[in-house]
Homo-oligomer: A and B are copies of this chain.
Amino acid sequence: MSEPQAKDLTHLFSVEAKSRKSSPLKSAFIYYGKPGMTFLGGGLPLAEYFPFETISAKIPKAPFPSGIGSKVSADGYTDITIDKVKGQPNQIELARSLQYGFTEGHTEIMKFVKEHHRSVHGMKYKDWDVIATAGNTESWDSVLRTFTGRGETIFVEEHTFSSALETCNGLGVNTFPVPMDTEGILPDKFEELLNNWVGPIPKLLYTIPTGQNPTGSCLSGDRRKKIYELACKHDFLIIEDEPYFFLQMETYTRDKSTRAGKAVHDHKEFIEALVPSFISMDVEGRVLRLDSFSKVLAPGVRFGWIVGQETLLERIVRLHEVSIQNPSGFTQSLVNGLLYDWGQSGYIDWLIKIREEYTHKRDVCIDAIYDFLPLDYVSFVPPVAGMFFTVYFDASKHPKFEEFDKDVLKIEKSIYEQGLKQGCLMIPGSWFKVEGNSVPPQTDVHSNPATKNLVFFRGTYAAVPLDDLVQGIEKFGKAVRIEYALE
């Protein structure tokens, strides 16, 4: 046990987090289940009255030899069953999962998640833990409440997930944009911004480093390291929102014949091919990782987890006690049942298959861009992670640039609407732009003349079958040709 302890960062807690008290009722709960003690302290209904005796699910069998999705053969499935009373080891029986309690998440599922996390990310300090949440959207809301308050400012990527911004907006938290390029945050520009910052440094950087939403970029290990050093130097937390982490892919190659050979071959190779996470380099306990099953199992399970130093997580658990309480018991029993049926190794097999699927989808998508978009007018970086791709256009080359008073937003709108007319919806990049209106600009790092006439659009290769995807990009290509007067 030579790892260090995390640093004391409790000075970063919000007024809300600092004011939370432990309920006196908790002190009574130490007597719950004590031999000889009749516990009349809590309003818990008897499990006898829960109208669910057993639940079961049909799931694909690890290691998924023929693939996942429609490739699973009829005998490639197995059934898992969860009883009301504990029958099997590692099962979260319904009498427990459907009862009150266990805000941190049930022991079995949290143990699985923690072991999985350790095997992928390693951890450089001792006192870290994992707590359950209702998914990353809820995690983000809880993190904001635990570290910020109305009128405070946080750092976010210049273009980011609009829903994450709206969470800030409701809470009255200002968002200040950190400069980025097509590969994510620019550490040098960020450092410049920090060095010139007037007033207290924001307490949080919110980032989606892998398969960034909306740009689809993947931040390199090198840039992450530099940004982490900035966090240590300027004393802020990094909140890495990482739902897309396992949707990493082989790099794109135009030559289809070389693709098959590029897949990862075993678990070790798979883990090593992953970009290092912020939390894997964290020695001070100043990274909180928001993780989730939404993109690798299913969004509707509404189960996420936060990894970080115990002392910081404890305040989030106190918040959860008086808000979500815990993720659904059905979710915990069923997902836990699936995970223990697969095992740690089977779960990695699943992630490898997911990687294969998304690599193929991305390939088909980029092939279609090469096939159908006017290559002289578009630029793009084939994504290596996530669900999104982006295509950039130079608005100044648009025939109506002068007519539209050189307003790039009008050009963007024109292309968006032509896309709709041709039957393909891509989201305009400006919808994700962080204005940072409420904080006066303190540096000039945002006025890069090389990019000021660029507009971009976000698309996804995740949500539609492959033939629809190709057709959609063909239609969007037609829209762009019309807009640029090429047909």
Spell out A's residues near B (CB within 8 Å): 15-17, 19-21, 23-25, 28, 31, 36-60, 68-70, 77, 94, 97-100, 134-135, 137-138, 141, 145, 150, 162-164, 166-167, 169-172, 213, 294-295, 297-303, 318-319, 321-331, 334, 338, 350, 354, 357, 386-388, 420, 423-427, 431, 459-465, 468-469, 471-472, 475-476
Pairwise interchain contact A41-B426, C-beta atoms closer than 8 A: yes
Q: Please list 9 pairs of residues, one from A and one from B, whose beta carbons are closer than 8 Å in the complex, sorted by A's number.
A: A25-B427, A31-B420, A38-B472, A137-B323, A141-B322, A141-B323, A145-B170, A302-B327, A324-B324
> Complex Cα distance A166/B19, Å?
10
Copies of chain A in the complex:
2
Interchain nearest-CB distance for A7 vs B (Å):
25
Pairwise interchain contact B55-A56, C-beta atoms closer than 8 A: yes
Of A43, A50, A431, most B-chain CB atoms within 10 Å: A43
- For A164, give the chain B residue with the smallest CB separation: B322
> Complex Cα distance A247/B97, Å?
22
Pairwise interchain contact B44-A462, C-beta atoms closer than 8 A: yes
Residues on B with C-beta less than 8 A from A137 are 322-325
A297/B50 contact (C-beta < 8 A), A19-B172, A23-B163, A36-B423 known: yes
> Complex Cα distance A427/B138, Å?
33
> Complex Cα distance A295/B388, Å?
43
A329/B302 contact (C-beta < 8 A), A462-B46, A463-B40 known: yes
Pairwise interchain contact A43-B388, C-beta atoms closer than 8 A: yes
Interchain nearest-CB distance for A32 vs B (Å):
8
Residues on B with C-beta less than 8 A from A354 are 49
- For A29, give the chain B residue with the smallest CB separation: B425
Residues on B with C-beta less than 8 A from A15 are 150, 172
Choose among B40, B44, B162, B302 the residue that contacts A23 (Cβ–Cβ < 8 A).
B162
Residues on B with C-beta less than 8 A from A44 are 299, 460, 462-463
Pairwise interchain contact A57-B55, C-beta atoms closer than 8 A: yes
Interchain nearest-CB distance for A38 vs B (Å):
3
Residues on B with C-beta less than 8 A from A162 are 23-25
Pairwise interchain contact B322-A167, C-beta atoms closer than 8 A: yes
- Known pairs A19-B170, A327-B328; list 5 more (Cβ under 8 Å): A38-B423, A38-B464, A40-B459, A45-B463, A170-B319
> Complex Cα distance A256/B393, Å?
83
Residues on B with C-beta less than 8 A from A338 are 51-52
Choose among B25, B38, B331, B431 the residue that contacts A424 (Cβ–Cβ < 8 A).
B38
Interface of A, secondary structure class, is: mixed
> Complex Cα distance A52/B298, Å?
9
Pairwise interchain contact A58-B69, C-beta atoms closer than 8 A: no
Interchain nearest-CB distance for A218 vs B (Å):
15
Pairwise interchain contact A427-B141, C-beta atoms closer than 8 A: no
Choose among B48, B60, B431 the residue that contacts A25 (Cβ–Cβ < 8 A).
B431
Interchain nearest-CB distance for A166 vs B (Å):
5
Residues on B with C-beta less than 8 A from A145 are 170
Residues on B with C-beta less than 8 A from A19 are 169-170, 172
- For A100, give the chain B residue with the smallest CB separation: B299
A169/B98 contact (C-beta < 8 A), A163-B322, A330-B328 known: no
Residues on B with C-beta less than 8 A from A59 are 51-53
A49/B37 contact (C-beta < 8 A), A166-B20, A328-B301 known: no
Residues on B with C-beta less than 8 A from A23 are 162-163, 166
Pairwise interchain contact A170-B16, C-beta atoms closer than 8 A: yes
Choose among B21, B300, B323, B460 the residue that contacts A42 (Cβ–Cβ < 8 A).
B460
> Complex Cα distance A468/B301, Å?
37
Pairwise interchain contact B295-A45, C-beta atoms closer than 8 A: yes
Pairwise interchain contact B166-A322, C-beta atoms closer than 8 A: yes
> Complex Cα distance A465/B324, Å?
28
> Complex Cα distance A461/B135, Å?
35
A51/B297 contact (C-beta < 8 A), A141-B322, A425-B40 known: yes
> Complex Cα distance A57/B329, Å?
14
Residues on B with C-beta less than 8 A from A163 are 23, 25, 321-322
Pairwise interchain contact A300-B97, C-beta atoms closer than 8 A: yes
Residues on B with C-beta less than 8 A from A41 are 425-427, 459-460
Pairwise interchain contact B134-A324, C-beta atoms closer than 8 A: yes
Pairwise interchain contact B20-A169, C-beta atoms closer than 8 A: yes
Pairwise interchain contact B58-A52, C-beta atoms closer than 8 A: yes
Residues on B with C-beta less than 8 A from A423 are 36-38
